[in-house]
Amino acid sequence: MEMAAGVSGETLLQRDAELLWHPYSSLSEPSPMRLVRGAEGVRLRLDDGAGETVEAIDAMASWWCMIHGYRHPVLDAALRDQVDQFSHVMFGGLTHEPAIRLAERLVEISPEPIQHVFFCDSGSVSVEVAIKLALQYQVARGHEGRTRMLTVRGGYHGDTFAPMSVCDPVSGMHSLFTGALKEQVFGPQPPSGFDRPADDPEFLAWAAALASIAAEHRDEVAAIIVEPILQGAGGMYPYSPACLKVLRDLADEHGLLLILDEIATGFGRTGTLFASEHAGIDPDILCVGKALTGGYLSMAATLCTTDVAHTVSRGPGGALMHGPTFMANPLACSVALASVELLLSQDWSAEVSRISAGLASGLAPAAELPGVKDVRVLGAVGVVQLGGPVDLQRMTEAVLRRGVWVRPFRDLVYTMPPYICTDEEIATITGAITEAIAEGN
C-alpha cells in the first residue's frame, strides 16, 4: 500500500479533526477517525495513525452500497472506459448511451408498471423528486389541497428537508427544526417481524389504525411513502409484507400514490431484487440509490409509472420541475450499468440466501448474551439489538480488534456485508460482533 506523498497518518487525522464534518458529527468534539489507505475486495486497509496498517472486513458494505466489494475489475474497467469517452455532459438538451441503457435496464428489472426514470445525485434528492412528482400529480388531477405525505413512524428517507419531514419525528430530531419542516401525517410503526401472520391481532390493529388515518386525511395527502419490508437507518426493523399490501390498498382506495423508498433495500439486499416483491405489490413511484452504482459513485433514481409520468407532464407546469447539474452523470451511469449487469449475471439470490444463513447461525449465540434484546436477520442484513445505547467507540474498537469494521448506532450493532463475502468472512463478522458484545457494552 502506497503512503500518500509522505504525509503521516497522524498529521492527516489531525487536519481532518480540525477541518471536516463527518456524518452527524461535532467539530467541537470530533470523534475518533480511522484513515483508509486502501480497499480491495471486502477489506479496508486502515492506518492507525501510528504508522501501522490494519485490515478489516467492511461489514457495512460502506452503508449498503458496496455489494460487489472494492476495486472490482469489471466496475473499475467500466469507469475507465467511460473516462476515455467523456466524464460528464449536461443532461439538458443532451443525452448519452450510458443513461439510456441504464434506464432501460432499471425499467426491465423493476416492478412491471414502472416505466420511466429520473436520475439524480443522491438518495435524498431522489426522495425529493418522488415527493415533487406526487405533489405535481395531485395538482394535475385538480387536488391542490393534497400537499402532505402519509408515512409511518420509524422511517428514514434522507437528510434534506422534504425527506427529513417523513423520517421518524423522534430519531429524525424534528424538534430541532420546528417551523422549518413540513408537518406530515404519521401512522404507527408497523408491528415488528417479517413473518407476522396476517390474522395477528397487532397487525389487524395496525391496519385499522392506518385505514382510519388515511380516511381522515385523504383530502390533504398526496402520497404514502415508506421503506418496504425493512426500515433501515430508522432502526433496522423488518415488518410483514401484509403491511405493504394494506398501504397499497389504502392508496388505491383514496387516490393516493404509493412511493416505495428502496434506496437501502433495492438490488437484492432483502432476498428479492426489490423488497416490494415480498408483498407482491407495485409502487407508483420507486426510489433507488446506494447499491445502484455498486458503491462507486453517488447516484440515485426516481422511477415511476406511465400514469404518473404523463399526468405530471400534462399538468399545469407542463414538466417535472427538477433538473440537477449532475443529472445522469455518465461515469455514474456506466458504473451503475456494469454493477447491475454484474449482479444479474450471477445467482445473486443464492448468494444472499447463503449470507443470510451464515448471519442467522453466526449471530444466534448473541441472543443468549446478557444485555441483548433481540437478534434478527432478513436477507443479507444481520442485527443485534442491545438493551440500551451502544458505546460506539468501545464497540467499534472491540470489533475492529477482531478484524471487522462496523458502525453501530443507537442500540444496534448490525451488518449488511458485501455479497462477495465468503462463508468464512461472514463467520468472522458474526464472531467479532458476538465476542465484542460478550465483552460487555
Ligand X SMILES: *Cc1c(COP(=O)(O)O)cnc(C)c1O
Annotated binding site: 63, 123-124, 156, 261, 290, 323-325, 407
Given 263, 297, 312, 337, the residue binding ligand X (CB under 6 A):
263
**Catalytic position from the list 168, 284, 290, 411:** 290
Judge contact between 438 and 369, C-beta under 8 A.
Answer: yes
Nearer to ligand X, 47 or 262 (CB): 262
Q: Is 227 a residue that touches ligand X (CB under 6 A)?
A: yes
How far apart are alpha carbons 344 and 236 in whole angstroms?
A: 26
Please give the single-letter amino acid code of residue 70: Y
Nearer to ligand X by Cβ, of 293 and 385: the residue is 293
Beta-strand (E) ranges in 18-132?
Answer: 35-40, 43-47, 53-58, 114-120
Check binding of 302 to ligand X (CB under 6 A): no
* Catalytic position from the list 24, 84, 195, 199: 24
Q: Does residue 396 touch ligand X according to CB under 6 A?
A: no
Residue in 191, 238, 283, 289 binding ligand X, rule: CB under 6 A: 289
Smallest gap from residue 154 Cβ to ligand X (A): 12
Query: Rounded distance, CA 305 to CA 115, Å?
Result: 5
What nine digits make up the cell of 371?
Answer: 444485555
Which is nearest to 111 in space by CA: 288, 276, 321? 276
Under 8 Å between Cβ of 227 and 155 = yes
- Residues at the binding site for pyridoxal 5'-phosphate are 123-124, 261, 324-325
Separation CA 381–CA 426 (nearest Å): 11
Nearer to ligand X, 325 or 393 (CB): 325
24 catalytic per annotation? yes
Q: How far is the CB of 65 from ligand X (least distance, A)?
A: 9
Size of the site for ligand X (CB under 6 A): 16
Spatial contact of 362 and 380, defined as CB atoms under 8 Å apart: no
Identify residues 39-98 at the interface with ligand X (CB under 6 A): none
Q: Which is nearer to ligand X, 170 or 357 (CB)?
A: 170
Contact flag: residue 123 with ligand X (CB under 6 A)? yes
- In angstroms, what is the minimal distance from the CB of 231 to ligand X? 8
How far are the Cα atoms of 89, 144, 253, 309, 366 from residue 312, in angstroms, in the given order? 26, 13, 20, 5, 50
Number of Cβ within a 10 Å radius of residue 390: 21
Spatial contact of 96 and 267, defined as CB atoms under 8 Å apart: no
Q: Which helix (H) or strand (E) holds 149?
A: strand 148-152
Catalytic residue status for 261 = yes
Residue 189 makes contact with ligand X by CB under 6 A: no
Residues β-bridged to residue 245:
none
φ, ψ of residue 18 to 5 degrees: the values are: -80, -30
Q: Does position 131 bind ligand X by CB under 6 A?
A: no
Minimum CB–partner distance for residue 335 and ligand X (Å): 16
Residue among 137, 156, 239, 419 flagged as catalytic: 156
247 near ligand X, judged by CB under 6 A: no
Q: Give the footprint of ligand X on residues 138-167 (CB under 6 A).
A: 156-158
Burial of residue 56 (CB within 10 Å: 0-12, 13-18, 19+) is: buried
How far is it, in rounded angstroms, from Cα 116 to Cα 129?
13
Q: For residue 216, with 0-12 CB atoms within 10 Å meaning exposed, 13-18 middle and 19 or more buried, which class applies? A: exposed
Q: Which stretch binds ligand X (CB under 6 A): 53-61, 237-245, 258-266, 422-430?
A: 258-266
Closest Cα to residue 130, out of 226, 64, 65?
A: 226
* Contact call for residue 168 and ligand X (CB under 6 A): no
DSSP 273: S
Site for ligand X contains 122 (CB under 6 A): yes
Should residue 270 be labelled a site residue for ligand X when binding is judged by CB under 6 A?
Answer: no
Say whether residue 235 binds ligand X (CB under 6 A): no
Quote the least distance from Cβ 64 to ligand X, whole Å: 6
Kindly state whether residue 136 participates in binding ligand X, applying the rule CB under 6 A: no
Counting beta carbons within 10 angstroms of the beta carbon of residue 178, is it exposed (0 to 12), middle (13 to 18) or buried (19 or more)? exposed
Does residue number 297 form part of the binding site for ligand X (CB under 6 A)? no
Decide if residue 124 touches ligand X (CB under 6 A): yes
CB-nearest residue to ligand X: 123
Catalytic machinery residues: 24, 156, 261, 290
What are the residues binding ligand X (CB under 6 A)? 122-124, 127, 156-158, 227, 232-233, 261, 263-264, 289-290, 300
